[in-house]
Amino acid sequence: MTAVSEHQAGIRDDELVRALAAPDDSEIAQLDAWWRANNYLTIGQIYLGANPLLREPLAAEHIKPRLLGHWGTSPGLSLIYAHVSRLIKRTGQQSIYLAGPGHGGPALVAAGYLEGTYSEVYPEVSQDEAGVLRLFRQFSSPGGIPSHVSVTTPGSIHEGGELGYVLVHAFGSVMDNPDLLTIAVVGDGEAETGPLEGSWKGVSFINPARDGAVLPVLHLNDAKIAGPTVLGRKDPAEVRSLLQGHGYEVLEVTGSDLPGMHHRFAAALAEAWGKIREIQRSAREGDWDGTRPRWPLIILRSPKGWTGPETVDGIKVTGTWRSHQVPLSGVRDNPEHLAVLDTWLRSYRPEELFDADGRPTELVRGLTPEGDLRMSASPHANGGLLTRDLDMPDFRDYGVEVVRPAAQHAESTRKLGELMRDIYSRNPETFRLFCPDETNSNRLGAIFDVSDRGFMERVTDEDVKLSRNGRVMEVLSEHNCHGWLEGYTLTGRHGMFATYEAFAMVSASQTVQHGKWLQEAKHLPWRAKVPSLNVLLTSTAWRNDHNGFSHQGPGLIQVVLTQRGDVARVYLPPDANTLLSVADHCFRSRSYINLIVIDKQPQLQFLTMDEAEEHCARGAGIWEWAGTDDDSRDPDIVLACAGDVVTMETVAAAQILKERLPGMKVRVVNVVDLMTLVRPKDHPHGMSETMFTELFTDTVDVVFSFHGYPGAIHQLVHGRPDADRFRVRGFIEQGTTTTPFDMTVRNKASRYHLVMDAINNSKRLPRGAAELKAWCEQQLAKHEAYVVEHLEDMPEVRDWTLGDWAQQG
């Protein structure tokens, strides 16, 4: 059960609920004082650059030169925060607060300040008048903090700048986290986004016996930046039906009267908490039939810009979209607006809220929970503090035995599934896979030996590996899977998001936003490192020949490459043993985005486990067995590759040259860690200039066969010696439903194209080069005719292994 505070020990939940539902006059005074103080600090952050506590008459020179920020949603966010703080103080409930309306940043910054956490992590923002001024001046200012509830905000795991993710982060945060209650405030503008519309279903995956709880608060104030919101204008009965249909028990609080709103919200919050406690008690004490609970949800209807100026220049502001951002503009130059601002600020009676030194008064501080129970100080919102290393099996035990390279096939991701199966067994509360209904499809199904899919809806006799006790998270939504994993890792647990390569672009924006979070967190010493976001892309562009063009797109590689080098990692293991080595490294890492790309289909295996481990440690290396290179002089051409299918084509091309043009010296270089190509000053994984020269020389042309878009390699090798000598073949948006080899042909990345590129770019051509080039063109023509007639690839391609060319020539 959820812990309760010591002074409440022995008091039953029903007694606590009754007490919480009926705050007395002193509690109402405390709630209202904290709320007024938070509103005051919110407005001060938007407007004031001096005179922070109005110790003197407000003047134009006290106003910031640039008025930035968002007021409209903030009073509602502050009201919810105040009441949840009271709940925590009375019950000891561990909670974190996620603000979907991220523009309400000043309200959450103010809350952390009133709780004292802000001054603890930023001592320069002290609990006095000078600290209040510092708080105001830094907001949305150069050298200061963003206007969103961002990574700089203590207590936050959720930025809220790109709307739509508050619920997915909230549900991820409570999985395997039984003592946590996550408050997820959904703005009615955010509620219009696709990701948020698709995330209400999270209740269908939360097991009350093992997981914590999410309490959504849908904050309807009927307005976004320039007009009404859909849910705000709908008939309340329709909104209620919508949410009930998702499985929630809806509680509603409406109005603007005070103290009436305090009484009504306190009663609704108490009822919601009591229902959550009863659901969890029933599930954890064995008094539960397994039926999905109907979790509570609160709808809060309050005016946009509540407690702000009712009208400005005769035009209604409060309760309309006009209060969304800065309701009073031109304050420095408009004496009437300055007077309105002065009246507005003084309406909160700051002299009652801050003492002579500028410190919050006892009336305000009395609402604040103690220590880690403060939502701004919760270790769940600084998940690295709670992170424990995974108990990892030895990845070498799962390897494929490779007698000779490129001679046998295996489904590489199936070996990864076996490794993950045992990670599940060893870490039953700190590791999960998140996958859009594709675990078996992606050959990771070994994990079902130890865990079912988690599902809280009805289960039938025809279902396989599906139960309420499962911990494999499958839902046909990349947004949910990605967001659940983010919430899971940011609160200190480990996992992986696996999906078809092309559809990783559905959630690519989430990947970008998470990368930005990690980047900024690295600059905050109080933010502890969290487990990395591990993304596995399989069912890749080169092997989605059966699904066709819609399933063919390696774009997420390009997206991750744009992230800063201190968080971005891209791995292209060519076979099972390199995949296992890479995965072990990624699961152990902290605060990175690790993108791993490898196909699920049977593929040639190249390296022994020892070779794979050494190769992955270096990130790139020469495959001497694949080429004809020696140490006598530089090669005539370097054939480089990164990615499984293109590696096979490169090795095949080198074999053709070895057999049919033995006078050409060919070096084969494989890259498994894509970021090693970058200069060391641009990425910590970048290989040294010496190593780069050892692999690629400084002068020899390089034919680089790449899994993704060719431009990525040009981007990565920028600044390397004579970078123009790199000729890149990759995916060029040529695809359809066709054969596997035809995909490489259509994108001009087949072994025959690579051979011709080698001939065209070598500075020294031995006798026979023209004939070989003509033969390659004949092979491409033969292929074109063969696939149309036989509906499959030519046997010499389909069945190729290293060493076959001597027999097939």
H-run or E-run covering 743:
helix 740-746
pLDDT given at position 8: 47
Task: Look at residue 11 in the predicted model and tell me its pLDDT.
Answer: 62
CA distances from 710 to 406, 652, 706 (A): 25, 20, 7
Instruction: State the Cα–Cα distance between residues 168 and 173, nearest whole angstrom.
Output: 9
Between CA 738 and CA 746, with CA 742 as vertex, the angle to 5 degrees is 105
What is the tens place of the pLDDT at every residue in 278-301?
999 999 998 888 899 999 999 999
**H helices within 358-436, ranges in order?**
362-365, 412-426
Q: CA-CA-CA-CA torsion for 621, 498, 593, 708, nearest 10 degrees? A: 50
Lowest mean pLDDT among 592-606, 623-637, 773-787: 623-637
3-state secondary structure of 380: helix
Residue 156's pLDDT band, with cuts at 50, 70 and 90, is: very high
CA angle 83, 89, 94 (to 5 degrees): 90
CA 293/CA 295 separation, integer angstroms = 6
Q: Residue 768: what residue type?
A: G
Task: Tell whether the model's pLDDT for residue 805 goes beyond 50.
Answer: no
Q: How far apart are CA 44 and CA 53, in angstroms?
A: 9
| Structural contact between residues 651 and 802, judged by C-beta atoms closer than 8 angstroms | yes
Which residue is listed with tokens 């603000």? 99
* 467 neighbors 404 (Cβ within 8 angstroms): no
Rounded Cα gap, residues 432 and 486, in angstroms: 12
For residue 226, what pLDDT is reported?
Answer: 87
Q: What is the pLDDT of residues 16-52, one digit of tens each?
A: 999 999 999 999 999 999 999 999 999 999 999 999 9
Q: Closest by alpha carbon to 579, among 643, 627, 497? A: 643
Nearest to 758 by CA among 612, 685, 645, 657: 657
Q: How far apart are CA 328 and CA 316, in angstroms?
A: 12
Let me know: does 298 contact 252? Beta carbons within 8 Å. Answer: yes
Pull the structure tokens for residue 403.
Answer: 């007698």
Buried b (16+ CB within 10 A) or exposed e, 346-381: eebebeebbeeebbbeebbbbbbbeeebbbbbbbbb
Report the candidate in 430, 512, 442, 438 with the shortest Cα–Cα distance to residue 471. Answer: 430
Q: At what angle do helices 74-91 and 260-284 cross, to 10 degrees?
A: 50
User: What is the pTM (predicted TM-score) of this model?
Assistant: 0.95
Q: Give the residue-averaged pLDDT of 587-612.
A: 97
Tokens read off for 442: 């992606």
Does residue 489 surpass a pLDDT of 80?
Answer: yes
Write the pLDDT tens digit of every residue in 429-457.
999 999 998 899 999 999 999 999 999 99
**Number of other residues whose CB lies within 10 A of the CB of residue 789:** 7
Going by the DSSP 8-state scheme, the letter that residue 399 receives in this structure is P
- Is 110:28 a contact under the CB 8 Å cutoff? no
Q: What integer pLDDT is reported at residue 547 of this predicted model? A: 80
Q: Which H, E and C letters describe 416-446, residue by residue?
A: HHHHHHHHHHHCCCCEEEEECCCCCCCCCHH
What pLDDT sits at residue 254? 97
Task: For residue 323, name the pLDDT band (cuts at 50, 70, 90).
Answer: confident
Q: What is the pLDDT of residues 717-760, one digit of tens each?
A: 999 999 999 999 999 988 888 999 999 999 999 999 999 999 99
Between these two residues, 395 and 548, which has the higher pLDDT value? 395
pLDDT, residue 2, reads: 44
* pLDDT band at residue 69 using 50, 70 and 90 as cut-offs: confident
The phi-psi region of residue 591 (left if phi > 0; otherwise alpha if psi is between -120 and 50; otherwise beta) is: left
What amino acid occupies position 727?
A: R
For 722, the token pair is: 């004579």
Report pLDDT for 765: 87
- 268: helix, coil or strand? helix
Cα–Cα distance measured from residue 30 to residue 806, given in angstroms and rounded to the nearest whole number: 87
How wide is the angle at C-alpha 768 spanned by C-alphas 766 and 771, nearest 5°? 140
Q: Confidence band (pLDDT; 50, 70, 90) for 104?
A: confident
Please give the full DSSP string across 26-49, using - where no structure is assigned. HHHHHHHHHHHHHHHHHHHHHHBS
CA distance 51 to 32: 24
Per-residue pLDDT tens digits for 256-273: 999 999 999 999 999 999
Rounded to 5°, angle at Cα 156 from 151 and 162: 65
- Angle among Cα 112, 118, 120 to the nearest 5 degrees reads 135
Residue 804, pLDDT score: 55
Average pLDDT over residues 766-774: 93
**In 92-138, alpha helices (H):** 105-114, 117-121, 129-138
